[in-house]
Structure 1
């Protein structure tokens, strides 16, 4: 058995899928012929579990080198972007009561695009456009077309 990075990622996601799938049994039962509340979580978890299993099998059959944790500083330097994206996401969640889904989503997507794509003025204009189109578009679909009440925050009252 080879203990490489893919092995650890696959095991992590397999454990996550099993725990989340088991937790989906505690979701409430639907009323009045509605779609069950566990439907979409399970629809997502089943392919994720299958892909994790495929990754686990591939990690054992491929010739990847074993993971070494001797150079922690180098590993942190190589993985700065994922850590920054997680920090931005948790900041988005923390500021959700203040900013709401619309403003918080705009800020989160813009900052994430800038962290990953660069801070040059031309790129920032493109990041603003992408953020505006996709966040406002998704917010409009969910709140206006589907009638989902999204968090509005204390700064901007939408409803």
Structure 2
């Protein structure tokens, strides 16, 4: 019953991190003018993360560990190319955020990431544009007008 593999260890570490972060939510300062507690959203996100990590832990224990096959760096990079691309695009999004603002840089991030990872035919590019405008524009409108959050406008649009 040698089921302690990398996924199991990763899940256990993530559970410990979730627990430590959840513990820290008890030290969040209450803001007097808020309509709900300042700890509600962090606890909600951490609870959701905890549930997902528990599913990950169960799957990692239920799945037998892979046989000891060595993989090269090239094979590893190829296997994780989509994730690496997403992290790179997110880094570029963070660099563009002060200049283009949340709405424009967010829509560009979603559109370009879908275009790089997904299909690139004209119909798919149109679908990517619609998804990016609706998703980012909708979230921006909810936070800006529904919740009253001041969203970054960007230096180019001031």
Q: TM-score, normalised by structure 2?
A: 0.84
Partner of 2:100: 99
* Conserved 8 A contact 1:5-1:67: no
- How many angstroms apart in 1 are the aligned matches of 2:8 and 2:69? 13
Deviation digits for residues 52-96 of structure 1 (CA, Å, limit 9, x no counterpart): 134223322332425755423211111100010011112111221
Deviation digits for residues 21-65 of structure 1 (CA, Å, limit 9, x no counterpart): 233234212325731111111112123213313422332233242
- How many angstroms apart in 1 are the aligned matches of 2:33 and 2:147? 19
* Conserved 8 A contact 1:3-1:67: no
Measured at CA, do residues 142 and 32 of structure 1 come closer, stay the same or move farther in structure 2, by a change above 3 Å? closer
* Conserved 8 A contact 1:96-1:151: yes
Measured at CA, do residues 95 and 66 of structure 1 come closer, stay the same or move farther in structure 2, by a change above 3 Å? farther
Partner of 1:52: 53
Structure 1 segment 1-159 matched on structure 2, within 5 A: 1-31=2-32, 34-65=35-66, 70-157=71-158
Figure out how many residues of one structure are paired with residues of the other and give that number.
Answer: 157
* Conserved 8 A contact 1:24-1:38: yes
Unaligned runs of 5+ in 1: none
- How many angstroms apart in 2 are the aligned matches of 1:17 and 1:2? 23
Deviation digits for residues 2-22 of structure 1 (CA, Å, limit 9, x no counterpart): 243532442342243134223
Coordinate RMSD, CA, aligned: 2.3
* Conserved 8 A contact 1:97-1:153: yes
Unaligned runs of 5+ in 2: none
| Superposed displacement of residue 138, structure 1 | 1.6
